[in-house]
Amino acid sequence: MDTVEVILSMLVVVIIIVSLLSNVLVLICFLYNPEIRKQVPGLFNLNLTFCNLLLTVSNMPLTLVGLISKAQPGGDGFCQVVGFLETFLSTNSMLSMAALSIDRWIAVVFPLRYHSKMRHKDAAFVLGYTWAHSMSFSTVATCLSWVGYHRLYASCTLSNPRAGSRTQFIVFTVFFHSFTFLLSFIVLCVTYLKVLKVARFHCKRIDVITMQTLVLLVDIHPSVRERCLEEQKRRRQRATRKISTFIGTFMLCFAPYVITRIVELFPAVPINPHWGIVSKCLAYSKAACDPFVYSLLRHQYKKTCTDIMNKLLKRSSLNASGRGHENQGNSIQTVE
């Protein structure tokens, strides 16, 4: 292994650890807090967490093995099963992000009708579609033997070793990425930009009221006026920053890999093997980013994590004090 491959292997290990710990923490918060379970977005987050966890434990370690050994991990049948999972889980996670964006769009644009438009059975229907959509592409690729070990990505993924079906594989690959990555990206852009538009409109209304109040309060201290103006600026930037994070992480993690898969269809264009692994690592890194982007940085999840930690620390302190009293009692009995 050269230096670049060693660095990439270490990167895969870091992604596995961060993804595993963060997604397990989201799952613990979901099971611990009944309020999170009652909310409709919690179902989409649960599905996204489920996909990320399975991808972390099933595909990422095998990519690490393929990168280190430079050979296919396991037999052809085993690699086909892993490739099926990789196609299914990556598609499902993209569509789950699109579903979360639709949920936010309905909540912000139609706040009074949100609970009638997005109920638990509606969320279950959307999740059913994401599973059917993901299963259809994965099944077709597996049945046509278009899933196997790909040396460029050191992974069991979409691959076409047969020259006779190259045209059909090109059509399938373009169709697949158009109805997974491109479709999800368009949904994210349309919904979140509408959310941003509504958020900016409300910010302007709040700013007008704030400025009118500052004009009326002639005797207000200059420091208070400055704090109000700073809060206006932060309020405008907060919505833009969140929307940029949602769309930016999606593009940064998935776009390099998808573009590489499309460029790969043209044999005349050479692709650096190290870049293939880098693009795969970027796609894997989305599983490590999602818990923070969609869950752990939200106030409700932060509070749940704090409650869990306080409960664990309180229990450990009670156990320690109990053992201390027991040892003290044993010492007194020994003296007597």
Per the structure, the count of domains in the chain is: 1
Residues in the chain: 336
pTM for this prediction: 0.85
| Pairwise CA distance, residues 251 & 254, whole Å | 5
- Looking up residue 7, the CATH number of its domain turns out to be 1.20.1070.10
| Pairwise CA distance, residues 97 & 116, whole Å | 21
Is 277 part of a structural domain of the chain? yes
pLDDT of 55 higher than 80? yes
Is 72 part of a structural domain of the chain? yes
The string of pLDDT tens digits covering residues 178-205 is: 999 999 999 999 999 998 888 777 666 5
Is 193 part of a structural domain of the chain? no
Is 237 part of a structural domain of the chain? no
CA angle 285, 102, 89 (to 5 degrees): 35
Other CB atoms within 10 A of residue 236 CB: 16
Domain ranges, residue 296: 3-176+253-304
Is 232 part of a structural domain of the chain? no
| Pairwise CA distance, residues 20 & 285, whole Å | 11
pLDDT for residue 329: 54
The string of pLDDT tens digits covering residues 124-176 is: 999 999 999 999 999 999 999 899 999 999 999 998 777 678 889 999 999 99
Is 192 part of a structural domain of the chain? no
| Pairwise CA distance, residues 191 & 195, whole Å | 6
| Pairwise CA distance, residues 36 & 164, whole Å | 51
Is 272 part of a structural domain of the chain? yes
Is 145 part of a structural domain of the chain? yes
